[in-house]
Structure 1
Amino acid sequence: MNFSSKRKTSNLVLLIASFVIVSLILWNTNSFFKKFKEEERHKMEIWATAQSELLQSSEDRDLGNLHVKIFQNNTSTPMILVNKDGSTKTNNIPEEEAQDTNYIKSRIARFGAENTPISIDYKGEHLATLYYGNSEVLNKLKYYPIALMLIIFLFGAVIFFFFKTNKASEQNKLWAGMAKETAHQIGTPLTSLLGWSELLKAEEINPEISQEIEKDITRLQTITERFSKIGSLPKLEKKDIVAETKCAYEYLKLRSSKLIHFTFDSKVTQLPVLLNSSLYNWTIENLVKNGIDAMKGKGSISIEIVPEGRYVNVLVSDTGHGIPKSDYQTIFNPGVTSKKRGWGLGLSLVKRIVEEYHKGRIKVLTSSKEGTVMQISLKVNP
C-alpha cells in the first residue's frame, strides 16, 4: 500500500468515526430530551391529581397545603388551567399577559400543540383541563441538536478547506520541484553549449553563427534562471518598468510572425517599480504568447503602460476570440487551458509571479469577440 492509499484510508476511517460520534451524540441528546419531557409530564400529572383533589375537597386544609406546595414547586413550566366553567388560572406566565384573553387563547393553542392536555376528572366528572408548555430548559435543549449540527458543519467545513489547502500546497510544491529539476537538467547541456561556442570562436567560424548561438544560449540561461526561482522568494530590485516592458516587447516582436502587428505605448517615459526582471519579462511573454494563440497567429498585440495614483497598470491587449465572463477567474487556476496541447500552467505562473512575488494584481480587464485586455497592476516605488 503506497502513501497515497494509506492517506485515503486514514481519511475514510476519520470520516466514518466522526459520523459515528455525531450520530451517538444526536441519539443521546434525543433520548435525553424525550426522558426530560416525560418527567415534566409526570410532574404535571401529579399537579393535576392534586388539583382534582382540591377541587372536590376544598374544606380539607391539609390537602390544600399539599396543593399549594405542589403548585409553588413548579417554577419553570408555564401552564394554564381551564375550569369547566371556562375560567382560567395561570402559572409561570407574566401577570400582564395573563390578563390578555387573546394571548391566553393563543397560548392554549400553542401548549396543546406542544404537549397533550391533561384532563382533570374526579369520579367520572370532568372538572378542568390542564394545558402546559415546555420549560425554558426543555426549549433550550430542543435547539441543542441544531446548534450541534451547525458546529459539526463548521467543523467539517474547516476540515474540508484544510485538506483542500493542503492538497493545493502539495501541488505547488510538485510544480516548484518540477521547475527546479527542469532548470537543473537544462544546466548540464547549457554548460556544454557554452564550451562549444567558445570553440567555434577559436576556430574563426562565421561570426554571425557564433552570435546567434550566443543569443540562444543567453535565452536558455534566462529560462533556466526563471525556472530555478519558482518556489523560492526572488530578489526584487528597483527597476524602470517602462524600460523592462519595452525590452520584453522588443524581444517578442523580433521573434514573432510578421502577421502579428505589435504596438507599444507608455504615458510616462520612466517609472520606478520593485521588480525581478527575469520573472517580470516571463509574465509579459506569457501574456503576449497567450494573445497570439488566441488570434491563431494573426492579429494585433498592444502593450500600454498607464500610471494610476500610487500604482501603474500594464495593459496587454490582443484581437483574439475573447474569454467568457464566467472564466475570468478560473483561467488562472492550474491545469485550465483552452488549447488542445498545453498544461494550463502559463497564467497560473503569471498570477503567482504578479500577486505572490510582486504583491500586485492581475485580472481580465475586458474581453469580447473583438479581443481581450489583461491588466497587471503594480505599486510604484519612487
Structure 2
Amino acid sequence: MDIYIKKQRWKFILIAAALFIGVISLLVTNILVQELEKEEREKATLIAKAIDYQINNNTPDPFVSKIVQDNNSIPVMLVDEKNQILLYRNFQVYTKIDSLFISIGIIKPKSINDSFLEKQLTKMQDNGYEPIQINLPSGDKQWIYYKDSRMLNRLRFYPFYQLGFITIFILIAYFIFNSSRRSEQNQVWAGMAKEAAHQLGTPISSLMAWIELLKDKKTDSELVNKMEKDIYHLETITNRFSKIGSQPELEATNIYTLINEAIIYLESRFPKKIKINFLNSEKNLITSVNKVLLNWVIENVCKNSVDAMKGRGEILIELNSNKSHVIINISDQGEGINPSIAKNIFKPGVTSKKRGWGLGLSLSKRIIEEYHKGKIAVAKSAKGEGTTFSIKLPKK
C-alpha cells in the first residue's frame, strides 16, 4: 500500500513543480513585457515629438529625421482633425511612397480608401493607448496613434506556446512510458502465470496417479473422494493460471447457468453461516466469456465478501443487463472498504487483510478488463453497511 501512497505523493510534487515553473515563466515574461511596453511608449512619444518638430520647423534636421526613420517596429499613424489618416508606418501595407514625406523621414502616405488601415485606426482608437497630440502652426491639431509592436505581442503569448508544447511533450512521453510499463507488467503477469501452471502441473499429475493407486488398493472411499476433490481443485487453479498466461478463448455462455454453478461450488467451500442469494431478472443472458476465468473472478469477489463479514452473513448476487452490457452485482454485509485504500483496491499488493497478498482483485480486474473488455468497480461501500462490486461484460 505504501508504494501507491508514495506514487501519489510524487505525482503531486511533480505537478506542483510544473505549476511553479509555469507561474515563474509567466511572471518573468510579464515583467519583460511591462518593461518593453514602457520602452515602446517612451519611443512613441519621442517619435511624436520628432514629427512635431519637423512639421513646425521649415528646416529639416537630419538627427530628428533619423529618429523617425529608425522606428522599424512600432506601428504609428498620423491622423488629422477629420480623422483622416495622413501618414503611417510599420503596418506592412504596400502603397506608393511620396518623395515629400521621404524628405522628412516619414514613409508611406495613406490612401483614405484603404479599408485595412481604417480598421487598424478604429482598433487603436477603441482599445489602444492615449494618442499623442501635435499642435500645428496654423492652430490645427493632429494626433499620433500607436500600438504594440509585433515582437511585444509575440512575447506576451510566447510562454503560453512554450508551456503548451512542453505539456504536449510531457503527455506524449507519459503515454509512451505508461504503455511500455503496462506491456512489461503484462509480460510479468503472463510469465509468472505460465511458470506457476508449469510448476503445479507435475505434482498434480503425480497426485492423480497416487489417487488411482489408492483406489486400486480399496482405501477408504470417502477419504479418497475428498482427496480427489482437492486435487481437482488444484487442477482448476493450474488451468486458471495457464489461461492467464496466454490469450484465453471466449465462447458464448449462459451467464445465469455459470453463476449458478459458481454458487454451488462456493457453498460447498464457505462456512455454513454464509448464505448466498441469487436474484436475476433474466435467465437467458448469453455473452462471450471464458468460463474458467469468469468463475475465478466471482470466486475472488465472494471470498473477499466472506472475509469482510468474518465468516457470517449474506452475499447477494444480482444479474441484470442493459442494451450493451451484462451486469453482475455482488453485495455483502461486511464492514465496508477503508476509504484510504478504496481508490487502489484493484492494484497489486493492496489489501486490508493481515495475511492477504492483495492479488485476488488485481487478477479479477485484469481478467475482466484486459481479456473480456469489460469493467469491474466498487459500486458502493460504506462503513458498517457493506460493499457492492459491479462487473460489466459487453454483450457479444
* TM-score with structure 2 setting the length: 0.69
Answer yes or no: is the 8 Å Cα contact 2:341–2:350 preserved in 1: no
Matched, 1:190 2:204: yes
The size of the alignment, in residue pairs, is 331
Matched, 1:57 2:57: yes
The 5-angstrom pairing of residues 55-134 of structure 1 reads 55=55, 57-58=57-58, 60=59, 77-79=74-76, 91=88, 95=118, 107-108=128-129, 133-134=147-148
What residue number does 2:23 align with?
none
Instruction: Please state how far the C-alpha of 1:317 moved relative to its aligned partner.
Output: 1.4
Q: Flag the 1:96–1:152 CA change in 2: closer, same or farther, 3 A.
A: closer
Matched, 1:211 2:225: yes
Q: Out of 270, 290, 301, which is 2:304 matched to?
A: 290
Answer yes or no: is the 8 Å Cα contact 1:80–1:108 preserved in 2: no
The AA in structure 1 aligned to 2:239 is E
Instruction: Please state how far the C-alpha of 1:181 moved relative to its aligned partner.
Output: 1.3
What residue number does 1:177 align with?
191
The 5-angstrom pairing of residues 219-234 of structure 1 reads 219-234=233-248
Point out where structure 1 has 5 or more consecutive residues left out of the alignment. Answer: 1-25, 83-87, 112-116, 121-127
Instruction: Please state how far the C-alpha of 1:135 moved relative to its aligned partner.
Output: 1.1
Is the partner of 1:331 in helix, strand or coil? coil
Q: Flag the 1:152–1:309 CA change in 2: closer, same or farther, 3 A.
A: closer
Answer yes or no: is the 8 Å Cα contact 1:90–1:98 preserved in 2: no
Matched, 1:265 2:279: yes
The AA in structure 1 aligned to 2:51 is Q
Q: Flag the 1:48–1:281 CA change in 2: closer, same or farther, 3 A.
A: same
The AA in structure 1 aligned to 2:201 is G
Q: Flag the 1:240–1:95 CA change in 2: closer, same or farther, 3 A.
A: closer
What residue number does 2:366 align with?
352
Identity, in percent, stands at 44
Deviations 1:181-228 (A, max 9, x none): 111111121111011111111212122222222211111111001111
Instruction: Please state how far the C-alpha of 1:55 moved relative to its aligned partner.
Output: 4.1
Answer yes or no: is the 8 Å Cα contact 2:315–2:331 preserved in 1: yes
Instruction: Please state how far the C-alpha of 1:285 moved relative to its aligned partner.
Output: 0.3
The 5-angstrom pairing of residues 160-175 of structure 1 reads 160-175=174-189
Rounded Cα–Cα distance in structure 2 between residues aligned with 1:262 and 1:341: 25
The AA in structure 2 aligned to 1:198 is E
Rounded Cα–Cα distance in structure 2 between residues aligned with 1:54 and 1:158: 58
The AA in structure 2 aligned to 1:281 is N
Is the partner of 1:366 in helix, strand or coil? strand
Rounded Cα–Cα distance in structure 1 between residues aligned with 2:305 and 2:214: 38
Q: Out of 140, 154, 159, which is 2:173 matched to?
A: 159
Rounded Cα–Cα distance in structure 1 between residues aligned with 2:189 and 2:120: 70
Instruction: Please state how far the C-alpha of 1:335 moved relative to its aligned partner.
Output: 2.4
Q: Flag the 1:142–1:366 CA change in 2: closer, same or farther, 3 A.
A: closer
Deviations 1:86-123 (A, max 9, x none): xx9984695578589xx7597446x9xxxxx9xx9xxx
Instruction: Please state how far the C-alpha of 1:70 moved relative to its aligned partner.
Output: 8.1
The AA in structure 2 aligned to 1:376 is I
The 5-angstrom pairing of residues 12-27 of structure 1 reads none
What residue number does 1:9 align with?
none
* TM-score with structure 1 setting the length: 0.71
Answer yes or no: is the 8 Å Cα contact 1:237–1:276 preserved in 2: yes
Answer yes or no: is the 8 Å Cα contact 2:192–2:245 preserved in 1: no
Matched, 1:300 2:308: no
Rounded Cα–Cα distance in structure 2 between residues aligned with 1:338 and 1:235: 33
Matched, 1:338 2:335: no
Is the partner of 1:364 in helix, strand or coil? strand
The AA in structure 1 aligned to 2:318 is E
The AA in structure 2 aligned to 1:57 is N
Is the partner of 1:172 in helix, strand or coil? helix
What residue number does 1:377 align with?
392
